[in-house]
Chains A and B, each alone.
Chain A
Amino acid sequence: GENVEQHPSTLSVQEGDSAVIKCTYSDSASNYFPWYKQELGKGPQLIIDIRSNVGEKKDQRIAVTLNKTAKHFSLHITETQPEDSAVYFCAASITPNNNDMRFGAGTRLTVKP
């Protein structure tokens, strides 16, 4: 089955700096890669996703890149703000049946003002 590894487990940055979180996956058939943000006391929420037919996707300060050859994908947050502090999870699945979605272990991001 799919195995997703996520690094780092914790990340601390200064407000305004960039943050990068990296994930690798094992199943070359995986083709859907979402990123979820979990704030304290809440369930995870989708912030961005990418499918295997594109290499990069951007939404304001957030971008995701995908390297299918190397089987890794990354989340990039620019101009970080304190409200970006949260736990971030990457995931991978084989659509159309993404009932098989597998999550990484999570990264706790702290943005210091």
Chain B
Amino acid sequence: DVKVTQSSRYLVKRTGEKVFLECVQDMDHENMFWYRQDPGLGLRLIYFSYDVKMKEKGDIPEGYSVSREKKERFSLILESASTNQTSMYLCASRTALGRGGTEAFFGQGTRLTVV
């Protein structure tokens, strides 16, 4: 059974704090993604990684950074949290082309509130 696990379901952080959101997948997937989900806006891509230590900006990377030191783990970092980063954050992983399948598997989400 495929699994993408996000370390926290709910987080409350203060403005200006450095925040780490962790995601681990056990499917040996090459590609990992971080999305932000807001009502009426759907899922917006923040960053993705197609290999260890590799990263690409998505549509809304401002205020975020990422780290991928190991294949199974992809971290989203809010360098200085702000109230407009209050949102649901979703991690996903997907196997790379050539190994079959284009389905993305999502974690359960982390609801972050910045106060």
Contact = CB atoms under 8 A, between A and B. Distances in A.
Interface of A: 1, 4, 6, 9, 32, 34, 36, 41-46, 49, 89, 93, 95-99, 101-106
Contacts of A49: 102-103
Contacts of B97: 95-97
A71 B104 CA distance: 23
B88 to A, nearest CB: 10
B4 A105 contact: no
B42 A34 contact: no
B42 A105 contact: yes
Secondary structure at the B interface, as helix, strand, loop or mixed, is: strand
Interface of B: 4, 31, 33, 35, 40-45, 48, 50, 56, 59, 90, 92, 94, 97, 102-104, 106-109
Contacts of A105: 40-42
A49 B94 CA distance: 15
